[in-house]
Amino acid sequence: MTNTEYRKFVQEFNQAGFHATCLGLAGETGELLELIKKRDHHGKPVSKNRIKDESGDLLFYLIGFLIEEDLSIEEVMDFNKDKLKVRYPLGFRKGDRTE
């Protein structure tokens, strides 16, 4: 599936509105982080499928949010890449701090 196809799917499928989309984005972020906590801090096994499942839900709401804001994922990726290249000209490394 391409970015364009997925965006069209989200646009047609997600009829929840802006507020619910924002709440979904926050909730799914928390669910993904909960899996990481269980894996990295509690030593529990977490399957790739669980990570994929929660990442997919997060992506759905992120794309829905971007649609509501009239932005494309490509615009956001380009903007973010340019910003990070200026902020971290040698690349992001562990221990680097933002200003």
The backbone torsions φ and ψ at residue 92, rounded to the nearest 5 degrees and listed phi first, read -80, 130
Model pLDDT, residue 94: 79
Model pLDDT, residue 65: 97
- Summarize pLDDT for 30-53 with one digit per residue, the tens: 999 999 999 999 999 999 999 999
Residue 96 lies inside a defined structural domain of this protein: no
Model pLDDT, residue 97: 67
Residue 9 lies inside a defined structural domain of this protein: yes
Residue 66 lies inside a defined structural domain of this protein: yes
Residue 63 lies inside a defined structural domain of this protein: yes
Kindly indicate the confidence band of residue 9, based on its pLDDT and cuts at 50, 70 and 90.
very high
Q: For residues 51 and 4, give the distance between their C-alpha atoms in angstroms, rounded to a whole number.
A: 23
* CATH number, domain with residue 25: 1.10.287
Q: Are 34 and 5 in contact (CB under 8 A)?
A: no
Model pLDDT, residue 92: 83
The 3 state secondary structure assigned to the chain is CCHHHHHHHHHHHCCCCHHHHHHHHHHHHHHHHHHHHHHHHHCCCCCHHHHHHHHHHHHHHHHHHHHHCCCCHHHHHHHHHHHHHHHCCCCCCCCCCCC
Residue 46 lies inside a defined structural domain of this protein: yes
Q: List the domain range (segments joined by +) for residue 41.
A: 3-71
Number of domains in the chain: 1
